[in-house]
Amino acid sequence: MAKDLEKHDLSSQSVEGSPGEDTLREPLAESHYHDTDVFGHEEDHEIVYKTLSWQLVAVLMIAEIVSNGMLSLPSSLAVVGLVPGIVLIVFLGVFGLFTSWILIRFKLRHPEVHNMGDAGMILFGPFGRELLSTGTIIFAVFATGGQLLAGQIALGSLSNGKLCLMLYPGIFTIPTLIFSLPRTLDRLSWLSVPSVFSILIAGIVGMVGAGVSFPVASISVTVNTSFVTAFISVTNPVFAYAGHFMFFILISEMKHPTHAMRAAWVLQTFATVFYVVFAVVLYIYVGPTVASPAFSSLPEKWQKAAYGIAIPNFLIAGSLYSHTAAKLLFVRFFRKSRHLYSNTVLGWGVWIFLVFTMNAAAFVLAVGVPIFNYLIGIAASLFASWYTYGIAGAFWLYDAYMYRGGKEAWKRNWPMTGLSIATLAAGAFICVAGTYVTIKQIVDAYKNHLVASPFTC
């Protein structure tokens, strides 16, 4: 295994946490944490990054995770049935909380980790850094593109489709880019507060609209279907929980990083409960024909109301994703440089260029892959499968091996070793199977002429 980015003589310290971790390297106390994290001590810095409270981090997490991905969940229930769908959503939510705990502990033990690329450097050396950095950027751009596509659908609904479809994501890209521009997440955190209320109220409006517009539909407790069709019901909720790739970056800008798990508890509890309620209500009233995104199944006035209220969330979530992609490269370029924390011409010039580039790439993606479900499936399968789930297993195995005595540590704490290996296997399975299923569906859709050509109205 590769060496850490920076070594600290802390292998003899103990850690609070799960049973059996009595000799695992302890997360650094905050006084020592700030000696080695990416932004260091900021007393004399013009741009101060570490300003976030755990409450604002929870808001940021909810704003970027509870967004357009939830609109595909009712269709997942329609594919596999009510009970398997609920079990899947709840299981993935609990699983996401478990992997959050591992990611946060890893970050606190390795303050120098700012993003998944830094974690890849610790695990696998330079190759790991490039692989996980590239994957983070691609996934963030995919996710931004997904929000632009959600904006396209929302604006199209509100305007009755009077404009060329390509114009809607173009219109949506402009405010998304503007909201991405602040250098620190603190500025975006306050914009995220109305974003959270936006998606919450939009979801409630959608549920009320379905309840008053339709009678209770004929629903299925379970559904017999093919593997290819059923696996979309896995990739949809995986994408709906896909925000862990941002956790390292968020924690890096916290005033008290040891409080990060509080934010994770708030996120996963809120997301899991809201997802189950939203998916069940929409499926019960709309039935097996529920669309993805689900708001498109509502009568026109309710559809317009729900989409209109959700627009602020789509904008801020897209801004957070493009900000993340730009921030990873910016910190990579200027780590330990004054351009990172000072208002220099070079620093701001590079930052604006990176933000513009990420949003431009997302726009191309949004108009080039004009099918909502496929976009979710591709992103969830290739990237969220690892960042949200699989890679967490590698983090725990690494720390246990390095700081508890090698393979003997794995044997002594065999329950966590087994869970970590299962986490890796789950990530690999979702990645491979999800990618296969999504590609097959895209091929079939083009064969059946169900997909419009890219970059057309």
Give the model confidence (pLDDT) of 410-439 as tens digits: 989 999 999 999 999 999 999 999 888 888
Which sign, positive or negative, has the C-alpha torsion 331, 61, 69, 75?
positive
Inter-residue contact 96 to 388 (CB < 8 Å): yes
> Which pLDDT band holds residue 2 (cuts at 50, 70, 90)?
very low
Q: Check residues 1 and 451 and name the one with the higher pLDDT.
A: 451
Q: Check residues 130 and 374 and name the one with the higher pLDDT.
A: 130
Inter-residue contact 145 to 369 (CB < 8 Å): yes
430-443: b or e for each residue (b if 16 or more CB lie within 10 Å)? bbebbbebbeebbe
C-alpha–C-alpha distance, residues 335 and 133, integer Å: 15
pTM over 0.75: yes
Residue 136: per-residue pLDDT: 93
Helix H or strand E encompassing 415: helix 414-447
> Which pLDDT band holds residue 6 (cuts at 50, 70, 90)?
very low
Q: Check residues 8 and 26 and name the one with the higher pLDDT.
A: 26
Question: And the tokens for 395?
Answer: 């983090």
Distances (CA, A) of 146 to 113, 151, 202, 335: 27, 9, 18, 30
Cβ contacts of 334 within 8 Å, gap of 6 or more: 340, 347, 350
Give the model confidence (pLDDT) of 302-315 as tens digits: 999 999 999 999 99
Residue 370: per-residue pLDDT: 62
> Which pLDDT band holds residue 408 (cuts at 50, 70, 90)?
confident
Under DSSP, the state recorded for 386 is I
> Which pLDDT band holds residue 27 (cuts at 50, 70, 90)?
low
With a cut of 50, say whether residue 13 has pLDDT above it.
Answer: no
Residues in the chain: 457
Work out the angle at residue 419's Cα, subtended by the Cα atoms of residues 227 and 377, and round it to the nearest 5 degrees.
35
With a cut of 90, say whether residue 329 has pLDDT above it.
Answer: yes
The CA dihedral of 114, 115, 116, 121, to the nearest 10 degrees, is -40
C-alpha–C-alpha distance, residues 452 and 372, integer Å: 13
Give the model confidence (pLDDT) of 29-67 as tens digits: 565 666 678 888 888 899 999 999 999 999 999 999 999
Residue 32: per-residue pLDDT: 64
C-alpha–C-alpha distance, residues 394 and 390, integer Å: 8
With a cut of 80, say whether residue 23 has pLDDT above it.
Answer: no
